[in-house]
Each structure stands twice: as structure tokens, then as C-alpha cells.
Amino acid sequence: MKFDLHVHTRFSKDSDADIDAIIFHAKKNGLDGFAVCDHDVIEGGPFSVQRAAELGSDLVIIPGVEITTSEGHLLVLGIKESIEPGLSPAETIRRARAQDALVILPHPFKITSHGIGYVEGLDVDAVEVLNSRCLTDGPNNKARAAASSL
């Protein structure tokens, strides 16, 4: 199955992406689904699930969030209740686990986008190894190497 696990919608402060357009483009490009991970808000995920159903889409849409921790961003998939931004990565992960959510470390070495800057010691389920917004290959290559070593 093919999924994009890091999608921002118009609910995010850094996106004006229309949800219908995201659904259309995901299907057109052969995805089986995507995770809505707006910055520090969870409303986009449930709204996208509802909108996909209204459109008769068979895409799997995972409600998520990109939470700003005290050290950088974390993606939380399957979230049901908001987790406030600004907590430590460890506390954010603890609260995500209390919701049986999955945790992904996005763009860990892309410091200009609030990458945490390290991988070791974090109880994450996955590490994002390809972020299209990286201007050079360095951050993605470093993330790939760190994920492989773990």
C-alpha cells in the first residue's frame, strides 16, 4: 500500500490546500491513503475522513497532527484528542501512547523546519526519511542513515 503520512490541509497554519483537491490528487497519483497532520490542530483529520466519505472515495485517511514540542516536531497518527504544543518530546510521546497513537519523527535533521536534530532515545515508531521540502539531500540522507541504524 502507498501512503503519504505527512499531509497538511487548510486547517494548518502553513497550508491552504483544499481537502477535495488533496483527495483527488492522492487518488490520481496512485496512493491508497494519507495521514492529515496539520500543525498543532486535529480538526483537519476528522473533516477529511468525513469529506472523503461524502465524495465516495475509497482512500484510507488517518487523522493525525504535527505537534510542536519543546525541541521540534513530532507526527502523531490515530490521535483522538489534542495534545498541547510545547511539551518535551518524551511527554508528547507519552500522551500520544495513552491514546494508542503511532509516533513518527518527521524531518529530524531539517533544523529550519523544527527538526528535533536527533533520533536516539526517542520512543518513535518510524522516522521520516524523505521530506520533499528539504532543499539539499543532506537532511534526508542523515535521517535515512539514522533510521537504518535503529
When divided into structural domains, the chain yields a total of: 1
11 is in which domain, residue-wise?
3-149
| Alpha-carbon dihedral 139, 127, 78, 47, rounded to 10 degrees | 20
Cell 510521546 belongs to residue: 93
Q: What pLDDT sits at residue 106?
A: 84
Q: Do 74 and 67 touch, CB atoms closer than 8 A?
A: yes
Confidence of residue 130 (pLDDT cuts 50, 70, 90): low
pLDDT at 24 over 70: yes
Q: What pLDDT sits at residue 145?
A: 73
pLDDT digits (tens, 9 = 90+) for 37-89: 999 999 999 999 999 999 999 999 999 999 999 998 999 999 999 999 999 99
pLDDT at 135 over 60: no
Which pTM was predicted? 0.86
Q: Do 1 and 31 touch, CB atoms closer than 8 A?
A: no
Cβ-proximal residues to 53 (8 Å cutoff; 6+ apart), any chain: none
**Share of residues in the chain with pLDDT > 70 (%):** 81
Cβ-proximal residues to 34 (8 Å cutoff; 6+ apart), any chain: 3, 4, 5, 7, 22, 26, 59, 61, 62
What CATH number is associated with residue 48? 3.20.20.140
> Average pLDDT, stretch 19-37?
96
Q: Which secondary-structure segment (H or E) carries 16?
A: none
